[in-house]
């Protein structure tokens, strides 16, 4: 059992999830019918300076090719909810064994402009695990210090025109890879609830 995982659980419990999903872009309907249920694992490495694991999606994928993401995807009928789906996808994409994940819990879902209902699942993993990207889905794996991800100064709010409509999104300032869109939005939403857990050890 991870001490970091316990602190994260207490931090989330101290700021309860309102339950309603976050809408990625203003103007999207809060209608969950027809949305594709999916889940991602947010793997936090338990270390003196915790780090978060990201993937770079394979350039040949039909959706979001080459983008930075968390391990995850749509839920299968046999999955035990979002947690089961996130753990399965993490095993399939980066070879992370489910038994090595200390699951903190599922957090607030996001409705995306592409019709997905994404549930982020927080999990703490040991430092030094040998992870291996699945060739057909993942082009690479990299880590970012959790402190950097939680710092408000690194949460850059940007906008772009999509079908003639200005849509706003977040980008995390990181020189190695572009962390933006849904992935950055998940981090920004989780940040206030995670800072207390990290500050507790300082």
Q: What is the pLDDT of residues 72-92, one digit of tens each?
A: 999 999 999 999 999 999 999
Q: At what angle do helices 3-14 and 181-199 cross, to 10 degrees?
A: 100
Domain architecture of the chain: domains with CATH: 3-199 (3.90.79.10)
Query: Whole-model pTM?
Result: 0.90
Residue 43's closest CA among 102, 130, 108, 113? 102
Cite the beta strand spans of 10-111 per DSSP E. Answer: 22-23, 36-46, 51-57, 68-69, 72-74, 102-106, 110-111
Q: Is 188 exposed, middle or buried (0-12, 13-18, 19+ CB in 10 A)?
A: buried
Q: What is the pLDDT of residues 140-157, one digit of tens each?
A: 999 999 999 999 999 999
Q: Tell me the chain's radius of gyration from C-alpha atoms.
A: 16
pLDDT for 60: 47
pLDDT for 136: 74
Q: What is the pLDDT of residues 28-80, one digit of tens each?
A: 555 667 889 999 999 999 999 999 999 998 654 455 545 899 999 999 999 99
Q: Is the pLDDT of residue 163 over 80?
A: no
Residue 43's closest CA among 127, 133, 111, 116? 127
């Amino acid at each position: 059992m991870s001490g970091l995982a316990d602190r994260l659980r207490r931090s989330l419990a101290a700021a309860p999830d309102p339950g309603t999903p976050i809408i990625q872009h203003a103007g999207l309907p809060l209608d969950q019918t027809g949305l594709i249920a999916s889940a991602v694992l947010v793997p936090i490495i338990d270390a003196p300076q915790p780090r978060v694991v990201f993937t770079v999606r394979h350039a040949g994928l039909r959706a979001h090719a080459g983008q930075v993401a968390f391990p995850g995807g749509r839920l299968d009928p046999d999955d035990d909810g979002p947690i089961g789906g996130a753990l399965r996808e993490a095993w399939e994409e980066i070879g992370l064994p489910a038994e090595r994940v200390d699951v903190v819990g599922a957090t607030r879902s996001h409705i995306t402009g592409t019709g997905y209902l994404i549930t982020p699942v927080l999990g703490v993993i040991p430092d030094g695990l040998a992870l291996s990207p699945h060739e057909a889905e993942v082009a690479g794996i990299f880590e970012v210090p959790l402190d950097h991800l939680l710092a408000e100064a690194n949460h850059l709010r940007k906008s772009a025109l999509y079908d003639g409509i200005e849509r706003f999104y977040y980008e995390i300032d990181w020189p190695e890879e572009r962390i933006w869109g849904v992935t950055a939005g998940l981090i920004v939403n989780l940040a206030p609830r995670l800072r207390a857990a990290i500050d507790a050890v300082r």
